Amino acid sequence: MANESTGFLHAIEMGLGTSAWGDRVIWQYGLSYSDADLGLAFQTALKEGIALIDTAEVYGSGLSERLIGKFARGSALPVLVATKYFPWPWRLTSGSVLSALRGSLARLGMESVALYQIHRPTPFHRPERMMEAMLACLEAGLVRALGVSNFTEVEMLRAYSTLARHNLSLASNQVHFSLLARRAEKNGLLARCRELGIRLIAYSPLEMGLLGGKYGPENPLPGSRGVRYAFLTNRIGPLLKLMTKMGQDHGGKSNAQVALNWVICKGALPIPGAKNAAQAQQNAGALGWRLTPEEIAALDEASDAIG
Ligand SMILES: NC(=O)c1ccc[n+]([C@@H]2O[C@H](COP(=O)([O-])OP(=O)(O)OC[C@H]3O[C@@H](n4cnc5c(N)ncnc54)[C@H](OP(=O)(O)O)[C@@H]3O)[C@@H](O)[C@H]2O)c1
């Protein structure tokens, strides 16, 4: 059951991911892209009508939020920020959530955010306890809606029921979902989200760039991304080829656009990461058209064949 405060997410088809903004551990922030590139990615996304910007207090150790705040102050277009609370084991009191949110708002230079998410479940705190602590943020008027991330169906239902006891809705569950990561579709999480009006936000919808078509055995993903995807890079050739063919059939859509359109057709909200204007512009081209049910079935089959 989506209500007035959470329903806005259902009207959003795509967002912008910013985990690479300020990050040098996984991504090459400062080497292959600069703050100027990120500022242009931000402006391009907003101009294309993509207002939902996903971040987290831990991205770039706070730099992602700072950059978003700086870029948003320079823009007249509306911005909907979704950030996240990281449940570090030493954050023991319920006040930790409110104080972490205040830290995010200070870095963003904003008075409130659209969506506040628990970044991941933790063995240290029960979902019920974390959601009760998140409520204080809502009551303080600092967030419009509450969500979770990386929650299993059982954990999500516990978070959902906690809010339901207060006549509130859980807005979203942000999980890994792409043509190469279909667990949410296969284990029933996506269907349960749909049934309960919870928006499934799909992170890494381009599989950190692997589905974009630029990378492959001859040109592996750089840095730790290359290590993470070494086992897949040699096996996705047929899927990438099919995506390219389908893109051509739709008037020259790119592999990235096909990958994002597939996520949208499945009923999820993709938040592709972009580090420059060209990527943000191209990702916006995933909107305004749809793969056919036959094409989706063929993509599913090619994805299944990868194993
Ligand atoms: N909740 C969580 O635990 C969690 C975990 C991970 C991510 N996230 C969120 O999800 C967002 C997206 O995930 P992600 O950044 O990991 O990966 P992603 O969106 O799957 O991939 C982003 C990468 O794909 C490449 N790319 C972007 N646009 C492209 C285009 N049009 N054509 C070809 N390649 C393109 C770029 O890499 P190159 O420049 O190298 O080509 C870009 O950095 C994150 O930014 C973050 O907000 C959340």
The answer to whether the beta carbons of residues 94 and 44 sit under 8 Å apart is no
Name 246's Cβ contacts closer than 8 Å, sequence gap at least 6: 253, 258, 291, 295, 298, 299
Condensed to tens digits (0 to 9), the pLDDT of residues 220-273 reads 888 889 888 888 888 999 999 999 999 999 999 999 999 999 999 999 999 999
* CA-based max dimension of the chain: 55
Would the pLDDT of 154 be above 70? Answer: yes
**For this structure, is 59 an active site residue?**
yes
The alpha carbon of 139 and the centre of ligand 1 are apart by a number of angstroms equal to 33
Top mutation candidate among 18, 19, 211, 282 for ligand 1, by most atoms within 8 Å of CB: 19
Of the candidates 29, 33, 59, 229, the residue annotated as catalytic is 59
Name 183's Cβ contacts closer than 8 Å, sequence gap at least 6: 175, 176, 177, 189
What average pLDDT does the structure give for the chain? 95
Q: Is the pTM of this model over 0.85?
A: yes
Condensed to tens digits (0 to 9), the pLDDT of residues 15-31 reads 999 999 999 999 999 99
The alpha carbon of 166 and the centre of ligand 1 are apart by a number of angstroms equal to 35
Q: Is the CB of 73 under 6 A from ligand 1?
A: no
**Cα 203–chain centre separation:** 4
